[in-house]
Structure formats: structure tokens, C-alpha cells
């Protein structure tokens, strides 16, 4: 094995008056990037490698020894090696006594092993103080310095002093350490980088499901029906008309799904007469992804606005206008202005624009940079009060679009209602339930429950049956 010369060891000692040397086991991608960052922050860096001679890629200024010699130079050792290669660690157990061993490893799959890598390491070297951390930062981010999006470093460990030491190192290289508690938290930290948009999965699945459903539904009643009944081929509707039926309906349903769980939760609390009982898991999960549901709904609303803007430029629309004008002039008749229709169309657009404006406001206030500068009451005002107003405006916009079509049998093709009618079902349910909740007597009761009041009689009667509370 390559042994450090006295000269090299002396240089490590020279730098030590600035900052204590940090040792990194492993000269791979992560080890090199971390070393580069530490060197820039003034830490002397000493690598421990299986093959110290083959170290040309290492950042200049770093030193490289074999594992045994390298660990003697530092109290803190970063283990930038995959878990599968930890076999070389147990023989170093005595030398690692009292040292801080930082496990930065990740796995390929969630819960790949029965215990976390950090706990496994702690079992291999019980004399060392194992700290889990840095695994959520990528080698690329460390090297390029673009740490804005991933500057948080989650740290956990059983020994508080060792944890503080590692957090101090993180701070000095421009990261923000967050203490996550004991080494038991390591499993969660190791699963964290393996998650793929966990909060977006449910909203995107619902949006995709609704999109497919409305697409098939609209194709059946707006394309297949005219062809089957009148031999009228209107398949060109697939490009713009059909999507512009899907987007508003999906958007409206998703927006109502943002508010439905809150309404359900309020009714559950009213029924139970207490707030001190957990909601069912499905409701908890649903409530946690409301922001994402709202943002997906906003994206669909944007598409609806864009598609609506280009309607007057469409050839089929211009052709219909020209056709009706020619028909009128042929009959030598001028159509009277239908004031009722003018009102309806203007209101339809006005409500749509106002609703969309508030929609955008909701989206903006959900951004962390904005929500961080408003207090809780202001945030609730926008997200709850203005949110319900948005839902009301958008539902009214849809109702004005349909107007009295729901009364006319010709709009029920093959007995199926128009897509907008389906799109309004959940929003109307949410608005009616909300209306019940804001009636003074119900509102008073729910406010008392949320302030900690409990329906005593029920609790007394059911004191032995917790499930009734
Ligand atoms: P890597 O490029 O494959 O480097 C691993 C290093 O481990 C090798 O360069 C080697 O260094 C050492 N090694 C390999 N086999 C060994 C063995 N049998 N015994 C002792 N040492 C051995 O991997 P990496 O990307 O740097 O990742 C290292 C660790 O950091 C992993 O646990 C990974 O999960 C974690 N991590 C990586 C990233 C990232 O962005 N890459 C991000 C967060 C966490 P020597 O030849 O010098 O001994």
C-alpha cells in the first residue's frame, strides 16, 4: 500500500491551523466533487483510496493515502463508497474509535435492505459515531456549485456532537443542514432521493384519468354521433374543439377536488364532535396534495384560455360565419340583435376572465417565495375564501356556457348529457356543501370544534368505545 511521506503528512498539519482536515474514503464522482468543494472552503482534504497512486483526477491540493493512513489525519471521515463495498471498513474498526463516520450512500430502490445503510455501517463499526447526511446532494450540484435547488442537507445520527460537527462542515461549504434526529431517520433520508414527484402522482393520475374519460366521451357524442346519425364527418373537431371541451371540464373538476377534502373533513369533525381524532389515511393523503391538484387545474385552465383565443381564426368557424351572412343576404333579411344572448355571452366571458384571474392569483400565492411573505390569515384568505369564489365564478361560467341546454332533449345524444353537465357535478356538490357549512349555526359549531371544544355527551356515552368519538 502507498504510505504517506513525512513531507506530505507535514503539509496536512500546516493547513490544519485554518480548518481541521477532512478525510474522504473513495475517489469516485461524489468523493471528488465533495473534496473540490471542501478545498474551496479552506478545508485540507485527504483521500483514502484502495489505489492512491492512481489518483490523477483528484482536485489539486488534495492528498491521497491508503485508508489506514488517511483516517489518521482527520476526525471526520466521509465514506463516499457504495454500501456493497463496505467490507473494507471492519478491519479499520479500532482506528475509527471515536471518529465521525459520515455515510453519504444511497440505494437503487426504496427499502432495498432491511436496515438503512447508516445503521448497517454503525453495526460494522460500533466504536465510530456514524452520521447520515449529504446523500440528497448530487455530485454534479457540488461540483458545478448550482446548489440553489438542493442546498438542504438532511443530517441524522445518535451522537449529538458528531452531528453538530458534520452540520458545521455542511454550513461552511454553503449548504443548509437540517437536523433530522437519531440514526433511525436514516432509512427515510435514504429513500428521499429515490422518490419521483411523490406529491404529484395522485393529481397527475386523476388529471390523466379525467382527460382520457372526457376525450372518449366527447368523441362519442361530438364526432361519432353526427357521423352515425347524419353521415356528417366532423373529425376535424379532434384537433381543437374536443380538447377545448376537455380542458375546462378537467380544470373545473380538479379545482373542486382541491376544496372537496376540506369540506369532507369539516363534516367528519361535525359528525364526530371533536377535532382530536385522525382523519382516514386517504383523506390525509388527498389533503396533502391539494396544492399540486390546484396547479394542474391551473395548467388546464391556461390551455383552455389559449385554445379559446384562437377560435375566431379557425377556418371552420370563419366559414360558418360567412355562410350564415350569405344565407341572410340571400333572404334579404337582417337578423335582430338578441339582447338576451348578448347578455349571456358577455356574462359568460366576464365570469370566465374573472375566474381565470383569481385562478392565477391562487397559483401565484401557492409559490413558496410568495406564501413565505404572507401571514397565515392572509394565506387562508386567498387560498380558501378567494378559492371558493374562483370555484363559484368558474362553475357559473360553465353554467352560462350550457344555459338551458340541459332542458332540451336534442342535446342528449344517445341519451348522454353534454360534457359540461358532467363537469359541473362535483363543483356543484362542493359549493352546496360549503353553503351548508357557512350557515351561521353550522359555522358556529365547526368553529367551536376547531377551537378544541368536544361534544361531551357523546364522549361520555361512548367512553369505552373510542370508535364512536
Ligand atoms: P463511484 O463513482 O462509483 O465511486 C465509488 C468509489 O468507491 C470508487 O471510486 C472507489 O474509490 C471506491 N470503491 C469502489 N469499490 C470499492 C471497494 N470494493 N472497496 C473500497 N472502496 C471501493 O460512486 P459515487 O457516485 O462517487 O458514489 C459514492 C457514494 O456516494 C455512493 O454510496 C452513492 O450512493 C453516494 N452518493 C452519490 C451521489 C452522486 O451524485 N454520485 C450523490 C449522493 C450520494 P477508490 O478507488 O479510491 O478506492
The 10 Å Cβ neighbour count of residue 287 is 14
Residue 458 has pLDDT above 60, yes or no: no
Rounded to an integer, the average pLDDT of 399-409 is: 94
Q: How far is CA 279 from the centre of its chain?
A: 21
Whether 304 and 421 map to the same domain: the answer is yes
| pLDDT for res 367 | 87
C-alpha angle 442-445-446 in degrees, rounded to nearest 5: 85
Beta bridge partners of 179: 155
> Quick check: is 455 in a domain?
no
| Per-residue cell: 355 | 375566474
Largest CA distance in the chain: 108
> Quick check: is 245 in a domain?
yes
| pLDDT for res 457 | 58
| pLDDT for res 55 | 74
- Binding site membership of 26 for ligand 1 (Cβ less than 6 Å): yes
Whether 189 and 237 map to the same domain: the answer is no
Q: Measured in angstroms, how far is the CA atom of residue 335 from the centroid of ligand 1?
A: 79
Whether 187 and 232 map to the same domain: the answer is no
Whether 38 and 138 map to the same domain: the answer is yes
Ligand 1, atom 10: nearest CA belongs to which residue? Answer: 26
Whether 157 and 205 map to the same domain: the answer is no
> Quick check: is 1 in a domain?
no
Q: What is the mean pLDDT of the chain?
A: 91
Rounded to whole angstroms, the Cα distance separating 394 from 409 reads 25
Q: Measured in angstroms, how far is the CA atom of residue 173 from the centroid of ligand 1?
A: 20
**Nearest alpha-carbon partner for 299 in 339, 246, 240, 338:** 246
Residue 372 has pLDDT above 90, yes or no: no
- Binding site membership of 136 for ligand 1 (Cβ less than 6 Å): no
The DSSP secondary-structure symbol of 1 reads: -
| pLDDT for res 368 | 81
- Are residues 455 and 259 in contact, defined by beta-carbon separation less than 8 angstroms? no
Whether 259 and 125 map to the same domain: the answer is no
pLDDT in tens, 32-68: 999 999 999 999 999 999 999 887 789 999 999 999 9
Whether 118 and 257 map to the same domain: the answer is no
Ligand 1, atom 12: nearest CA belongs to which residue? Answer: 26
Residue 29 has pLDDT above 70, yes or no: yes
Rounded to whole angstroms, the Cα distance separating 419 from 242 reads 10
> Quick check: is 88 in a domain?
yes
Rounded to an integer, the average pLDDT of 365-391 is: 89
> Quick check: is 456 in a domain?
no
| pLDDT for res 148 | 60
| pTM of the complete model | 0.74
Whether 206 and 282 map to the same domain: the answer is yes
Cell 438503512, residue located: 116
CB-side exposure of 217: number of CA atoms within 13 Å? 21
| pLDDT for res 441 | 96
Rounded to whole angstroms, the Cα distance separating 423 from 252 reads 7
User: How many domains does the chain divide into?
Assistant: 2
| pLDDT for res 467 | 35
Whether 167 and 215 map to the same domain: the answer is no
Q: What is the CATH number of the domain that holds 101?
A: 3.40.50.720
Q: Measured in angstroms, how far is the CA atom of residue 47 from the centroid of ligand 1?
A: 12
Percent of the chain at pLDDT exceeding 90: 81
Whether 215 and 235 map to the same domain: the answer is yes
The DSSP secondary-structure symbol of 19 reads: S
| pLDDT for res 206 | 97
- Are residues 158 and 131 in contact, defined by beta-carbon separation less than 8 angstroms? no
Rounded to an integer, the average pLDDT of 311-327 is: 91
> Quick check: is 428 in a domain?
yes
> Quick check: is 364 in a domain?
yes
Q: Structural domain of residue 383, as residue ranges?
A: 199-328+336-450
Amino acid at each position: 500500500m502507498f504510505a504517506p511521506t513525512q513531507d506530505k503528512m507535514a503539509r496536512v498539519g500546516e493547513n490544519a491551523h485554518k480548518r481541521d482536515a477532512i478525510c474522504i474514503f473513495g475517489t469516485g464522482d461524489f468523493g471528488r466533487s465533495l473534496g473540490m468543494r471542501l478545498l474551496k472552503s479552506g478545508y485540507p482534504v485527504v483521500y483514502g483510496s484502495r489505489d492512491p497512486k492512481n489518483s490523477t483526477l483528484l482536485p489539486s491540493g488534495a492528498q491521497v493515502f491508503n485508508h489506514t493512513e488517511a483516517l489518521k489525519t482527520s476526525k471526520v471521515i466521509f465514506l463516499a463508497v457504495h454500501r456493497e463495498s463496505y467490507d473494507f471498513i471492519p478491519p479499520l474498526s479500532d482506528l475509527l474509535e471515536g471518529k465521525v463516520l459520515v455515510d453519504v450512500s444511497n440505494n437503487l430502490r426504496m427499502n432495498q435492505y432491511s436496515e438503512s445503510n447508516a445503521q448497517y455501517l454503525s453495526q460494522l463499526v460500533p466504536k465510530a459515531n456514524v452520521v447520515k447526511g449529504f446523500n440528497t446532494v448530487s455530485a454534479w450540484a457540488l461540483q458545478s456549485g448550482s446548489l440553489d435547488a438542493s442546498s438542504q442537507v438532511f443530517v441524522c445520527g445518535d451522537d449529538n456532537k458528531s452531528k453538530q460537527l458534520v452540520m458545521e462542515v455542511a454550513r461552511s461549504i454553503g449548504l443548509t443542514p437540517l437536523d433530522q434526529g437519531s440514526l433511525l431517520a436514516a432509512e427515510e433520508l435514504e429513500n428521499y432521493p429515490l422518490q419521483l414527484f411523490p406529491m404529484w402522482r395522485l393529481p397527475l393520475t386523476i388529471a390523466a384519468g379525467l382527460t382520457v374519460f372526457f376525450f372518449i366521451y366527447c368523441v362519442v357524442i361530438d364526432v361519432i354521433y353526427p357521423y352515425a346519425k347524419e353521415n356528417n364527418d366532423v373529425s376535424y373537431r379532434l384537433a381543437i374543439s374536443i380538447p377545448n371541451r376537455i380542458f375546462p371540464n378537467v380544470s373545473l373538476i380538479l379545482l373542486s377536488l382541491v376544496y372537496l377534502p376540506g369540506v369532507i373533513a369539516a363534516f367528519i369533525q361535525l359528525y364526530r364532535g371533536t377535532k382530536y381524532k385522525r382523519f382516514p389515511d386517504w383523506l390525509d393523503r388527498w389533503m396533502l396534495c391539494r396544492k399540486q391538484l390546484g396547479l394542474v387545474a391551473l395548467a388546464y385552465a391556461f390551455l383552455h384560455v389559449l385554445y379559446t383565443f384562437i377560435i375566431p381564426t379557425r377556418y371552420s368557424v370563419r366559414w360558418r360565419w360567412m355562410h350564415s351572412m350569405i344565407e341572410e343576404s340571400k333572404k334579404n333579411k337582417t337578423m335582430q340583435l338578441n339582447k338576451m344572448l348578448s347578455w349571456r355571452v358577455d356574462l359568460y366571458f366576464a365570469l370566465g376572465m374573472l375566474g381565470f384571474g383569481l385562478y392565477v392569483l391562487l397559483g401565484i400565492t401557492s409559490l413558496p417565495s410568495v406564501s413565505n411573505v404572507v401571514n397565515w390569515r392572509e394565506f387562508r384568505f386567498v387560498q380558501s375564501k378567494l378559492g371558493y369564489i374562483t370555484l363559484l365564478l368558474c362553475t357559473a361560467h360553465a353554467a352560462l356556457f350550457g344555459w338551458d341546454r340541459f332542458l332540451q332533449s336534442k342535446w342528449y345524444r344517445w341519451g348522454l348529457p353534454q360534457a359540461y353537465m358532467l363537469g359541473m357535478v362535483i363543483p356543484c356538490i362542493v359549493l352546496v356543501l360549503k353553503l351548508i357549512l357557512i350557515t351561521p349555526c353550522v359555522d358556529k359549531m365547526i368553529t367551536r370544534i376547531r377551537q378544541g371544544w368536544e361534544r361531551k355527551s357523546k364522549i361520555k356515552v361512548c367512553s369505552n368505545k373510542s370508535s364512536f368519538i
